[in-house]
Structure 1
Amino acid sequence: MKAKHDTREIGTEAERLAESFLIARNLRPIARNHRCRYGEIDLVMRDGAVLVFVEVRFRRSDRYGSAAETVDRRKQKRLITAARHYLKINPSNSPCRFDVIAIDGHHRIHWIQHAFALDST
């Protein structure tokens, strides 16, 4: 990632990097940036029969904690609520999971599958 000051631009670039990473691992993109009043789901992907809600986090440095650590209980609750909203609009009988893609300032990607559960509120 280039050194940029615009947070939105950095986030968009991180999401593109994460999506490419997941596609290379045979996940199929379904939706990007699903927004609702409860929050936003960065990526919705399909991993075989599983619907995967992906939260992408970027941190230049882990001086104040890693990118993955920023997905705390509060953030998880918002993501779960946004995922429920997505499923209300796009009904599915597929099993679901939440993954986190954490990217650091050296472009290292840490993929946390099953980071938390739909019922972990």
Structure 2
Amino acid sequence: MGFLWKAAAAASTTKQAGDAAETLALEHLQRAGLRLLARNYRTPGRGGGEIDLVMRAPDGTVVFVEVRQRASLSHGGAAASISAAKRRRIVFAARHYLARLATLPPCRFDVVVLEPGGPQWLQAAFDAG
């Protein structure tokens, strides 16, 4: 896993690094039994939100996943980089995603952090409140 993380961190553009980090997080979650529903789900129009991964847990819970990568643990690490504004945009996009469904499933907001120590999956990292 360390080699793959280093490859993601060394990608030549920010977009490539982000895509590689999302792929690593996706593979990590799939190994844990989650199934991909959507990748890079975006609300239409300006000022909306974006969710890196929308997954379904084995118990049916819809899991909205934010992926964060940092090459260094300084400044609080990757998890600390998720601001209140970013959480609001994720919640906004999640509400938009859920509005398309006939019935509301249980859901939660997780974060997958990719740092030098390896991936860390923070379940129920924040709520919609």
Q: TM-score, normalised by structure 2?
A: 0.85
Q: Which letter does structure 2 place at the counterpart of 1:115?
A: A
Equivalent residue runs for 1:32-51 within 5 Å: 32-36=39-43, 37=45, 38-47=48-57, 48-51=59-62
Equivalent residue runs for 1:51-62 within 5 Å: 51-62=62-73
- Specify whether residues 74 and 46 from structure 1 end up closer, same or farther in structure 2 by C-alpha distance, changes over 3 A only: same
Alpha-carbon distance in 1 for matches of 2:79, 2:31: 21
Alpha-carbon distance in 2 for matches of 1:29, 1:58: 20
Matched residue SS, 2:74: coil
Alpha-carbon distance in 2 for matches of 1:91, 1:52: 17
Match of 2:35 among 13, 28, 39: 28
Equivalent residue, structure 2, for 1:99: 110
Quote the sequence identity (%).
Answer: 43
2:26 paired with 1:19: yes
Equivalent residue runs for 1:1-16 within 5 Å: 1-2=6-7, 3-16=10-23
- Specify whether residues 75 and 91 from structure 1 end up closer, same or farther in structure 2 by C-alpha distance, changes over 3 A only: farther
Higher normalized strand content (fraction of residues):
1
List structure 1 segments (4+ residues) > 3 angstroms apart after TM superposition: none
Task: Give the unaligned 5+ runs of structure 2.
Answer: 1-5
TM-superposed deviation, 1:70: 0.9
Q: Aligned residues, how many?
A: 118
TM-superposed deviation, 1:33: 0.5
Q: TM-score, normalised by structure 1?
A: 0.90
Task: Give the unaligned 5+ runs of structure 1.
Answer: none
Higher normalized helix content (fraction of residues):
2
